[in-house]
Amino acid sequence: MKKFVNDPADVLAEALIGIQAIHPELRIDTENRVILRAEPTRPGKVALVSGGGSGHEPMHGGFVGRGMLDAAAAGEVFTSPTPDQVLAATQAADSGAGVLHIVKNYTGDVLNFEMAAELAEAEGVRVASVVVADDVAVQDSTYTAGRRGVGTTVVLEKIVGALAEEGADLDAVAVLARRVADSGRSMGVALTSCTVPAAGRPTFELPEDEMEVGVGIHGEPGRSRVPLASAREVARMLVDPIVHDFGDPVGPAIVLLSGLGATPLIEQYLLYGEIAPLLADAGVDVQRVLVGDYITSLDMAGASLTVVKADDEMLRLWDAPVVTPGLRWGA
C-alpha cells in the first residue's frame, strides 16, 4: 500500500491535524472529529450540518465555511460518523434557529444521523433532514436501501448554504434542500479500485483491460464490469443513464464532474470535452459546471458525473459568495 500515512488506524486523526494547520478559518473539535467554522453560527441563521465517512475529501470538511456548511462530522475512512459525532456537530452549529442534516443515502449514514437527530431533539435542537439518493447506477426500490448519495450532495450544500446565509428559516431551507436533492442524478465509473488504509489492499481487483461502471464512492463494486473503453465511450456510459433516468428533457442544469482521487485533471478535462456535446445533444442546457476533485474515493482512478436540474433561484444561490477550502468564489 503506497500512501502517505503512518499507522493506518490514525489516518483520520492525523488528517484533521493537517486540516487545522492549513485552514485557520476552520476549527477542529478533535475529540468528536467535527470540522466547524472558526466563527460561531450567526444568531438566527439555520445551520447546515453534514458528514460521512472520510476518504471523500474535500467533501465534507472542505465545504465548511461561509455560504456552505456550518459543521461536518468526519467518520472513520468510509465509515459514517457515530451519533455522538453528529450530535456534537449539531449542538455546536445550532444558533437556535435549527439545523439541517444533509445525509447521503447509505444505511450507516441514515441510521447514525437518525439517532443523532433524536438525541439532538431531546436536547431541544430543532432538526430537519434531507437524504441525497442520486446515484442512477443503483436500481431504486422501496424494498432495498435505495440509491446512494453522491455528487448532488455538493451542489445541494452550496445552494442551500447560500439560502441559509440569507436568513431563511429551517422549513424553507429544508424545502429547498429536498428540491435540490430530487433534481440531481449521478453516475460513476472506476478504472482502478481504491485501497482502504486499514485493509491495506485494494477493495476489488480490476484487470488492466477492464473497468467498473456504476461503482460506488466507497469502492463498492459497480453494476457491471466492462472492457476498458475510450474516453468517448466512457462519456456515453455516464451521460446516457442519467439522461434516461430524468426521462423528461432536463433543460437548465448545474453539472459536476468529479475525479475520484487518482485521476489527474488533464484526464478530467478531456473526459468533460467528450461529455459536453453529449449533454447538449440530450437537451441538458449546462448553465454552470465544475470539474475537479470534489467527492472522491481515496485513491480510486475514475470519475463521477452529476447533473442537477436548476431553476433560476438555484442558479442565483449557486452564484452567491462561498468561502470554503473546496469551493470559493465571490469573496
Closest among 135, 136, 138, 183 to 156, alpha carbons compared: 183
Q: In the set 14, 40, 42, 108, which binds ligand ADP (CB under 6 A)?
A: 108
Size of the site for its own copies (CB under 8 A): 57
Contact stretch for Mg ion (CB under 5 A) within 78-86, 112-120, 129-137, 199-207: 78-86
Q: Check if the beta carbon of residue 261 is closer than 8 Å to that of residue 296.
A: yes
Angle at 179 between CA 288 and CA 143, to 5 degrees: 120
Closest among 290, 209, 213, 281 to 243, alpha carbons compared: 281
Q: Check if the beta carbon of residue 289 is closer than 8 Å to that of residue 151.
A: no
Q: Largest Cα–Cα distance in the chain?
A: 55
Q: Check if the beta carbon of residue 88 is closer than 8 Å to that of residue 33.
A: no
263 binds, among other proteins, its own copies, Mg ion, none (CB under 5 to 8 A by kind): its own copies
Site string for other proteins, 155-194 (x = CB under 8 A): ----------------------------------------
Smallest gap from residue 244 Cβ to other proteins (A): 17
Q: In the set 19, 35, 137, 253, which binds other proteins (CB under 8 A)?
A: 137
Dihedral angle at the C-alpha atoms of 21, 24, 25, 29, nearest 10 degrees?
A: 70
Q: In the set 303, 307, 314, 320, which binds its own copies (CB under 8 A)?
A: 303
Size of the site for Mg ion (CB under 5 A): 2
Q: Find the binding residues for other proteins in span 109-128 (CB under 8 A).
A: 111-112, 114-115
C-beta of 201 vs 232, nearer to other proteins: 201
Enumerate the H helices of the chain as residue ranges: 11-22, 83-93, 107-122, 152-165, 170-183, 231-246, 265-281, 312-319
Give the footprint of its own copies on this chain (CB under 8 A): 2-6, 11, 14-22, 54-55, 57-58, 62, 77, 191-192, 208, 211, 228, 230-232, 234, 261-274, 276, 289, 291, 293, 296, 298-299, 301, 303, 328-331
